[in-house]
């Protein structure tokens, strides 16, 4: 048990080091139990430049979450190397582009090639935040 705890601590430390999130004050924890985010980018390996981040939000019953129930969607993109300014995007409810029920397309600026991870948080009007992360490569 003790060995396992130590191993987990080392893994967590390694992750923190490699993730290089120096200027991100902390991605909020999900506080909307049962809600699910499905994240993707189109195309799967986008070129450098403005790409499409697709965010689908489902409630605990599996029903799509519509704009009226969403206050805002925030996305913070980081890369695995040091010295990178995170790319941040915030879209309020009225500006959301819903492409199908509960699925939103956000214009995300992939301003550099390489390995990215994007943390997305959806703030619900009824309270609570749904969070998720997607890893991807930009060419
Ligand atoms: Cu970079």
Please write the tens of the pLDDT for every residue from 91-127: 999 999 999 999 999 999 999 999 999 999 999 999 9
* Residues near ion ligand 1 (Cβ under 5 Å): 79, 84, 112
Q: What percent of the chain has pLDDT over 90?
A: 73
What confidence tens digit (pLDDT) does each residue in 46-86 have? 999 999 999 999 999 999 999 999 999 999 999 988 888 99
Closest-CA residue to 57 (of 119, 110, 120): 120
Q: How far is the CA of 77 from the centre of ligand 1 (A)?
A: 10
CATH of the domain at 54: 2.60.40.10
The DSSP code sequence of 35-49 is -EEEEEEESSSPPSE
Structural domains counted in the chain:
1
For residue 16, give its domain range.
2-138
Rounded to the nearest angstrom, the distance between the alpha carbon of 57 and the centre of ligand 1 is 28
The pLDDT tens digits of the residues spanning 11-28 come to 444 444 333 333 344 566
């Amino acid at each position: 048990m003790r060995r396992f705890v130590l191993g987990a601590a080392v893994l967590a430390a390694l992750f923190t080091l490699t993730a290089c999130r120096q200027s991100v004050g902390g991605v909020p924890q999900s506080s909307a139990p049962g809600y699910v985010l499905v994240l993707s980018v189109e195309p799967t390996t986008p070129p450098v430049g403005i790409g499409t981040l697709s965010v689908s939000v489902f409630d605990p019953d599996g029903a799509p979450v519509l704009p009226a129930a969403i206050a805002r969607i925030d996305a913070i993109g980081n890369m695995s190397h040091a010295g990178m300014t995170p790319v941040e995007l915030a879209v309020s409810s009225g500006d959301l582009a819903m492409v199908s029920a509960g699925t939103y397309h956000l214009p995300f600026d992939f301003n550099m090639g390489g390995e990215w991870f994007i943390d997305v948080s959806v703030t619900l009007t009824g309270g609570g935040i749904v969070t998720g992360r997607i890893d991807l490569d930009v060419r």
